[in-house]
Amino acid sequence: MIKSNNEQVHNFLEEIQIIDDEKYLILQKLRGIVFNNNKTVNDRMMYGGIMFSLDDDFGGIFVRKNHISFEFSNGFILKDPNNILEGTGKFRRHLKITSLIY
């Protein structure tokens, strides 16, 4: 598991692990994907979830009642030929993750 340098993120992850271990594992898997693709990503707590940034915010992960939402700040520009992204707002799009599949 990737440990966050941000104390608020670290505390949030610990709380989620106590409440719902499956969601904790999903969060850690998603964080791993982000950090394995770019080691210079920063994470911090914002809007009740974990936001990721380089020069600017590019997305975040948020715990919902029945899923984890991986949100893309400028998701409207992403190519989505299989129509898996959800959202109809001006910019943001998201994926709903309900379980880990190995």
Mean predicted confidence (pLDDT) in 78-84: 92
User: Rounded CA gap, 87 and 92, in Å?
Assistant: 7
Q: Are strands 68-72 and 57-63 parallel, antiparallel or unpaired?
A: antiparallel
Q: How many CB atoms lie within 10 A of CB 88?
A: 7
The residue type at 77: I
Q: How confident is the model at residue 97 (pLDDT cuts 50, 70, 90)?
A: very high
List, for residues 19-68, the tens digit of each pLDDT value. Answer: 999 999 999 999 999 999 998 999 999 999 999 999 888 999 999 999 99
Query: 13: which residues sit within 8 A by CB, 6+ positions away?
Result: 4, 24, 27, 28
As a whole-number percent, the residues of the chain with pLDDT over 70 amount to 99
DSSP, res 82: T
Set out the domains of the chain in order of their start, with CATH numbers: 7-97 (3.90.1150)
pLDDT value at position 8? 96
The total number of residues shown for the chain amounts to: 102
